[in-house]
Structure 1
């Protein structure tokens, strides 16, 4: 017995060692087979991290795991990934590993996880999945393949399938696909038992028509592998909660597929219709009370090839139906639906939709619609008719629509339209036929793009054969009111083709408050809400003639505003905009753009007789450009050219401001008490009364950029004093100005006056004006004033002394000449006097004062 146990243990140990060692023995062989199969069958770039062989993972079966498998297309889909999966597992009998190199390995099952398949048809109709090598030799037929398909079962977990047709701009996405099947593929005839769930999304022309529609299918498919025929047997499908049953078959052919299918709803309850709507929007259907029926019946018959599609006829009907949710007060009654989607030729463009009847009633409001759409894929021809009334407030009372804010308002429609999409795209309005009207009253809207509740009191669109008129649009938001009328040029292009909305409009407003149209947002719960920059809609391309009695912008009240605006490409062009403000008139031309992250503007402003103190204190921009202007009482004519960025409040960002200003003062008065700078200047240059300066019609020019203002030098005159002023200052109120005064000497104080009194009037008139310089530095709030007035007075005193000396010399010389002439005539000149005169003329090294003193002294000591 011990020998038997010992022998059994040794056998088990050998088996375990074999199970562990075998993968290492056969790993290279399997990897070689995988690479050989790929190279012989696929014209694409295939990559994987590793090929592992395991005997333990699915014992008693062997499994081959290909990790991170990627299949990447070559031209014309170069670098597009056709297929990738986290792992791809093939299962087989262990004995398959011991086959010769020329014998194919039989695969019994496969599985994959987290895979993605992307099927693309380019604009030329070429598909990216056609990657099989085109070989004509018998050596590379499927009979000599390294693998042989003998599936018993397979599993696909979390597959994403994407279908993109670039020629029609159509995209279908099947996401979160979980699929499993079982059947014996060793037989040519078999039944394949499958279970499938997925989510369906559908887009066309970048518009979403279906999003995450839940699909499920439990089906037994009859497979005729020899003839490639797949027949629906037992099956149950759900589209959301709408049940469908299928009959018929699909046959694969060399040129495509042949379809012979029919389908229908399993039951006829109207609840099936509500089941088409995703549960997120339809709510819990189990407790909904419904009456009437709802049926879907269809057939698909014909061949799908490169040039044809199967013919089909899908009919959707409902008669005298109703529904009411248990927790909602309103019901929808008298529901009639009669729709058919048909193709009778097998040519795609001949598909058409006939909505023969759509009608429903909520309370006493009845709404009807009918439409036909033909030639869908090439140039859709649309005929539609809308007639009825809908109280929008009743929608959320009858159907569980999840809205942030409930709707309100009455929609009335009585309109007929006929158009084709080519005419819409090319703006060939003569081919569009319309009649009737659509109106909306008492509509309230709240949304993230609006700062405040937006109330449409009355809106009406009138359809004429050649155009669509916005007959009226009366709205309010905050304290603002709007009245708009005009013509819409491409209303259908805006609705159906994502084109910009074109038109010409007239806007009138009694009061327009800019902040009413500016949204606010909070960065987090601890911060105060801040405003977002006003965005000019990108979908507008229109001209607007505007008139407003009052426009409130920041802290300004602008009166009688009128002008023309052109809105295009997220910009507004302002032309001949006029308004009354600050006791005068303002004209404006320019541009505002919000296309970039930071709004920008450029403006040409004209100020006509505006109040200087008001305009330059209420407008931060003007206050920064000319801080001293608040000291001037009077009017101003000015032209201002400026550009820069705008803040979120749509006010100029002063750090980015640049431009020029030319101004002329009208009847100004200077109030030095309003300025620390002027007060300091007055105390340092007391020879002039600043408040008595005549500044009338004074013209000034300045430029500004990078927060600095450059004042072009200009000259002012007060009585017989002139001054030249120039320099710079910053928007931060720092300054560096120079004042050059030309001051008559009489204004330079008592010392200068006493000196002047010693001169004769004739000599005093010869004294020229004295230059006095003043430097203004520091800031307007903390000014520093320095002058050279003391030096100027000293210079004047020196000048007067020189003049007195010269005058004295002249007088002494004249006196000597007269005395000498008198002495000579009487022969009384003595030698001493003569010697003195000679000596005085020779002593050039002595000062003039000494010469005069000695001469006069000697002269008056002589005896007569």
Structure 2
């Protein structure tokens, strides 16, 4: 019996030593297998600095760590870095590491750290992420679009993470720019099932720009959401969720459906509360450092719908409304209160054509030191030569304004601004200085330093 136990003990020790030594003995061979699989699956150059392998940390799976991985585009984006990551960690079956080049590797867990992803569509509509290798039948006949059998990685995930990363999407054709910085995202679910719930947590700083106009500028956005996944139909439905833009809470419902030639979107969102303090949450962080202690009254409501097809020619239709009634605010260290704040604004698109998106502000009023200021505006052609139709009337005592709103240091205000403006202009006229500027005859002893103010009337169209 002792002899048998001794033999078993020696065998177990040998297996443990082999498991410890294998990653070091086979590291170069495994690294080459990974590179071959990636490069044979993608029409891009894939490389990484080194591979670390552990057979214990994710047992019974192996843990594979690829360091300084980069994906470099070929034509027509030759030399561009599509993707880079300091470290990518994968958990996968041990024996998959020894598959032949033509056999896929199954991934159960994925962690991406300190990554940069740069997605781009050029003026011709070509996308730099379209790098999947197609079979020869696709090359010979446009009507046959059968992808090559997967010879790289199969993502049968239970958990994934993206940490401290950045993502950019630039579409030169539609002039859309989306930037996500300080991106942290994780999801837990079972991708092996046709239908399951994916639990997700996302945080990022978001910038969105359309035709040179920043509609969202480095805003903190977070989302905690359960997503019902139907992988056969490629339909993803939002269930319980909690979203925030800066500190503005939003509830989001609806679905995203990935079709063969388009994406169907049907989303609704709203603020769960109507406190006017929510308005200040939309102000970027660097401009709202003095909000502590601010008092507000009245309401602020955001609600909207986004639905329709997303294709090369269409965007979803949208109806996004923002309103406030009988609101006021006062900063704790300033004597003046801004009262009777009322406004309605809407971002609308009823056709799905990007050029038909417009901003309507039918009414906006506030009262400062007993004087009421009112305005209304219509902004059209947002993606082309933007056109602004603006009216504004009222009297603003600039000294009182400085006593109601904190401005940057070394900025001083003095004088009375008497507004009586009705103007229509386009941005090309502004850029080409094709504007007539009236003398400030209705400004009394106006001094604004270091800010320079001009009044525009009757711009040339």
- Compute the TM-score of the two structures, normalised by the length of structure 1: 0.49
User: Would the alpha carbon gap of residues 244 and 364 (structure 1) be closer, same or farther in structure 2, given more than 3 Å must change?
Assistant: same
Is the aligned partner of 1:321 residue 2:327?
yes
Instruction: Report the Cα offset of residue 99 of structure 1.
Output: 5.7
Is the aligned partner of 1:191 residue 2:197?
yes
Spell out the pairing of 1:63-462 with structure 2 (5 A cutoff): 63-97=63-97, 103-135=103-135, 141=147, 143-167=149-173, 169-203=175-209, 210-283=216-289, 285=291, 287-424=293-430, 439=443, 441-446=445-450, 461=455
Is the aligned partner of 1:31 residue 2:31?
yes
Alignment check: 8 A CA contact 1:196 1:216 kept = yes
Instruction: Report the Cα offset of residue 95 of structure 1.
Output: 4.6
Whose radius of gyration is greater, 1 or 2? 1
Instruction: Report the Cα offset of residue 132 of structure 1.
Output: 1.7
Instruction: Report the Cα offset of residue 152 of structure 1.
Output: 0.5
Instruction: Report the Cα offset of residue 380 of structure 1.
Output: 2.3
User: Would the alpha carbon gap of residues 125 and 18 (structure 1) be closer, same or farther in structure 2, given more than 3 Å must change?
Assistant: same
Alignment check: 8 A CA contact 2:434 2:459 kept = no
Q: Could you tell me which residue of structure 1 aligns to residue 51 of structure 2?
A: 51
Instruction: Report the Cα offset of residue 129 of structure 1.
Output: 1.5
Q: Deviations over 1:369-423 (max 9, x none)?
A: 2110112212322210111222333344323444343433332221111123455
Q: Could you tell me which residue of structure 1 aligns to residue 143 of structure 2?
A: none
- Structure with the bigger RCO (C-alpha within 8 Å, sep 6+) is 2
Alignment check: 8 A CA contact 2:84 2:117 kept = yes
User: Would the alpha carbon gap of residues 104 and 46 (structure 1) be closer, same or farther in structure 2, given more than 3 Å must change?
Assistant: closer
CA distance in 2 between partners of 1:160 and 1:150 (Å): 24
User: Would the alpha carbon gap of residues 343 and 437 (structure 1) be closer, same or farther in structure 2, given more than 3 Å must change?
Assistant: farther
Number of aligned pairs? 454
**Greater per-residue helix proportion:** 1
CA distance in 2 between partners of 1:460 and 1:29 (Å): 70
CA distance in 2 between partners of 1:434 and 1:169 (Å): 35
User: Would the alpha carbon gap of residues 181 and 462 (structure 1) be closer, same or farther in structure 2, given more than 3 Å must change?
Assistant: closer
Alignment check: 8 A CA contact 2:180 2:205 kept = yes
CA distance in 2 between partners of 1:133 and 1:97 (Å): 22
Alignment check: 8 A CA contact 2:205 2:218 kept = yes
Instruction: For structure 2, list consecutive stretches of 5 or more residues without a partner in the other structure.
Output: 139-145
Alignment check: 8 A CA contact 1:117 1:162 kept = yes
User: Would the alpha carbon gap of residues 202 and 434 (structure 1) be closer, same or farther in structure 2, given more than 3 Å must change?
Assistant: farther
Instruction: For structure 1, list consecutive stretches of 5 or more residues without a partner in the other structure.
Output: 448-455, 468-491, 493-864
Instruction: Report the Cα offset of residue 51 of structure 1.
Output: 3.1
Alignment check: 8 A CA contact 1:417 1:434 kept = no
User: Would the alpha carbon gap of residues 266 and 120 (structure 1) be closer, same or farther in structure 2, given more than 3 Å must change?
Assistant: same
- Compute the TM-score of the two structures, normalised by the length of structure 2: 0.88
Q: Deviations over 1:551-607 (max 9, x none)?
A: xxxxxxxxxxxxxxxxxxxxxxxxxxxxxxxxxxxxxxxxxxxxxxxxxxxxxxxxx
CA distance in 1 between partners of 2:30 and 2:137 (Å): 25
Matched residue of 2:399: which SS?
helix
Alignment check: 8 A CA contact 1:116 1:159 kept = yes
Matched residue of 2:304: which SS?
strand
Q: Deviations over 1:74-98 (max 9, x none)?
A: 2332222111111112111335446
Matched residue of 2:116: which SS?
strand
Q: Could you tell me which residue of structure 2 aligns to residue 663 of structure 1?
A: none
Alignment check: 8 A CA contact 1:263 1:298 kept = yes
Matched residue of 1:370: which SS?
strand
Q: What is the CA RMSD across the aligned residues, in angstroms? A: 3.1
Matched residue of 1:379: which SS?
coil
User: Would the alpha carbon gap of residues 82 and 441 (structure 1) be closer, same or farther in structure 2, given more than 3 Å must change?
Assistant: farther
Matched residue of 1:408: which SS?
strand
